[in-house]
Amino acid sequence: MKKVALGAVLLAGSLVLVPLAESASAVPAAPAAAPKAAGEPNLKMGSKGAAVKRLQLRLKELHYDPGTADGRYGSTTRAAVWAFQKVNKLTPKAAGAVGKKTWAALKDPKTPKPVTPKRLRERNRVEVLIGRQLVVVYKKGEIALISHTSTGSGRYEDGAVSRTPRGNFRVQRKIKGIRVAKLGTLYNPIYFYGGYALHGSPNVPLYPDSHGCARLPFGTDMKMFKLVPIGWQVYVK
């Protein structure tokens, strides 16, 4: 109960008590809490909805390939998230988790730095970054596509060490569709050095795992196949 101070007033010969003010012991009402700004939700493989679609559309704007922007978080979107996180120095997770740091980076993203030396650099080229497990395609000097990849494992297997060759190469030939080779099946291969190619694969893990080729996620392999013609530079570092 509030304590109220009373004052005396003389009205028509009568003394009347009237309230003057609340005493210092009164407790003021607490202000209403300000509503929190709604942030983007955490996402991962299997997520669905409008936030996933926003993620996919933003990745497309930044030249990654999340597949169709359908609001469904599948393996193609996960591979694009992995690539984006590696470019932005975030640690990719197996489930492709997208949280506060990734959403923040999507607002202010980094871009890969060219690795081809200036004296060799051509405006139309593919760069394979072994250390970061990334492939970057440049068209007319501008980034056209950034993809996650899995290159040579470094293991000794099938009579040799599985290593992706480093150096300056050119696209020698392309095969649309499936190529069954001695060491495995290649989808839409783009050959840049002998039997070494950029190609689609159902298995493109977060670590180097191939016999020496640069594996690409399904869907991204066809996008790259259409984008990169015979004769383009391929620089592997």
Known catalytic residues? Answer: 199, 213
How far apart are alpha carbons 134 and 204 in whole angstroms? 11
Amino acid present at 91: T
- Positive or negative torsion for Cα 214, 220, 222, 224: negative
Rounded to whole angstroms, the Cα distance separating 56 from 70 reads 8
User: Would you call 79 helix, strand, or coil by DSSP?
Assistant: helix
Nearest to 220 by CA among 58, 43, 111, 81: 81
**Token match 């696209």: residue?**
171
| 62: amino acid identity, one letter | L
Cβ atoms of 81 and 98 closer than 8 Å: yes
